[in-house]
Amino acid sequence: MKSELHIIGAGLAGSEAAWQAAARGVKVGLHEMRPARKTEAHQTGDCAELVCSNSFRSDDFTRNAVGLLHEEMRRCDSLILRMADAHKVPAGGALAVDREGFARAVTAALQQHPNIHFTLEEITDLPANAMTIIATGPLTSAALSAAIQRRTGSEYLAFFDAIAPIIHFDSVDMSKAWFQSRWDKGSGHDYINCPMTREEYEAFIAALNAGEKTEFKEWEKNTPYFEGCLPIEVMAARGVDTLRFGPMKPVGLTNPHTGGRAHAVVQLRQDNKLGTLYNMVGFQTKLKYGEQQRIFRMIPGLEQAEFARLGGIHRNTFIRSPELLDGFLRLKSAPHMRFAGQITGVEGYVESAACGLMAGRFAVSELLGEPMTPPPLTTALGALLNHITGGANASSFQPMNVNFGLFPPLAGRIRKDQRAEAYSARALSDLEAWKCGSLLQEPAAGFNGGEFPEMRRQV
């Protein structure tokens, strides 16, 4: 198949971009180096593999910006949201998925689409002229990272991202733990809760502070963490109560074994549809493996915990998008190339997929000779796009989750407790003004991108 659009990387952003383009009739060449070449964090060769949490965060679009982003993407025929909905597991008000079922379903949908051609290879150089979306994520290979640096002339920024452990459900002591969602949201019992007394909590904090951590290479020592995904031991080092007011907050929970509220609570969230695996919410970590097992088994209910996966740490990279990209995610110095996903500086699964959705749609409009129109700034899609392509200060640019602080102010005086709903109502109304596009199956006319002859491949 002669490809009109090439997409490098089949993660969340690349998968969504490929789907959006293929659904409009564009022939897509999707290039993925896994499983022949693995990353520090991925374990499979599936598209859209989730390497950290299995949660897409809040699904309530009347109260939360990421929930609004979910709804906007659903209305734009997002493959990622369609498959997330099909493979969701109980998680209170959040949208969490069976990670293996989700990734397999995304992979099957892309592989079965007649307009998508897969090539399993590592791309080590950038195209000279083929229309391309680079969606290689925060774990872009060293060779391609070097090629991007050569082309952009810009220094890469970097931060560390940590992975939370996953525990076998049958190893949790439910005589100490209990099922309940905070404030009884969702079904009311979507999380496993492990309570701690003050003494147990303070001993746990001391163990975290003293535990042996992963050692960094010399060149990694000045790399900052992303504040929205800090390792648990980094939070613990900031103060004895930091975790108790963060992921271990006990509010909204009542221990049925005692009838009271614990001093602190560790929550576990279902990680697969079978309910056999649970991940430790907010417990990203850089502790060494042996220390993780020792310290996390100090948690009441987890004394005999069996770990399906221990936590880990990997280095994420992203470009200075406000300097380098235009308002349609094109590289200013080489507009036949677009960037999408976490490599642009968006943070989060859904934000990455949303970036891929926009990049795919922009590329299709350009290929078909249609006018390109960015989503309104009042939408979650538009606010996110604006942040990475000009709304943020380039010199201090850092990864960002979608939030209502990125949106234009609301007109008039609105009570604080009504603002989120007002932001969402305005966004969904304005979204209708942005053409989502019909799904065509006939081949697209126009751009002939060739078969990537100028790129070097490595398997």
Tokens linked to 52: 């950290």
- Say if residue 127 is in the same domain as residue 219: no
Residue with tokens 């080489």: 334
Mean pLDDT, the chain, rounded, equals: 88
- pLDDT band at 456; cut points 50, 70, 90: very low
- Spatial separation of the C-alpha atoms in residues 224 and 244, rounded to whole Å: 23
91 CB contacts (<8 Å, ≥6 apart)? 55, 186, 190, 191, 269, 270
How many other C-beta atoms are found inside a 10 Å radius of the C-beta of residue 114?
Answer: 9
> Over 70: is that where the pLDDT of 439 sits?
no
Task: Clarify whether residues 135 and 169 are in a common domain.
Answer: no
- Kindly state whether residues 221 and 280 are assigned to the same domain: yes
Map tokens 């904090």 to a residue: 205
We report the CATH number of the domain holding residue 245 as 2.40.30
Cβ pair 431, 75 in contact under 8 A: yes
**Are 16 and 149 in the same domain?**
yes
440 has pLDDT over 70: no
State which residues form the domain around 344. 5-156+319-458
pTM value is: 0.83
The sign of the torsion formed by the CA atoms of 141, 84, 327, 110 equals positive
**What is the pLDDT confidence band of residue 31, given thresholds at 50, 70 and 90?**
very high
pLDDT of the residue at 57: 95
CA-to-CA separations, 51 to 69, 83, 141, 163, in angstroms, rounded: 21, 17, 16, 7
99-112 average pLDDT score: 96
Mean pLDDT of 429-436: 78
End-to-end CA distance of the chain: 21
pLDDT of the residue at 221: 64
Q: Which of the two residues, 438 and 288, has the higher pLDDT score? A: 288
- Whether the per-residue pLDDT at 8 is higher than 90: the answer is yes
For residue 40, is pLDDT > 60? yes
Residue 438, pLDDT > 70, answer no
Domain boundary among the residues 315, 349, 364 is at: 315
Is residue 14 domain-shared with residue 152, that is, in the same domain? Answer: yes
Task: Select from 23, 77, 83 the least CA-distant residue to 48.
Answer: 83
Domain's final residue, options 299, 315, 331: 315
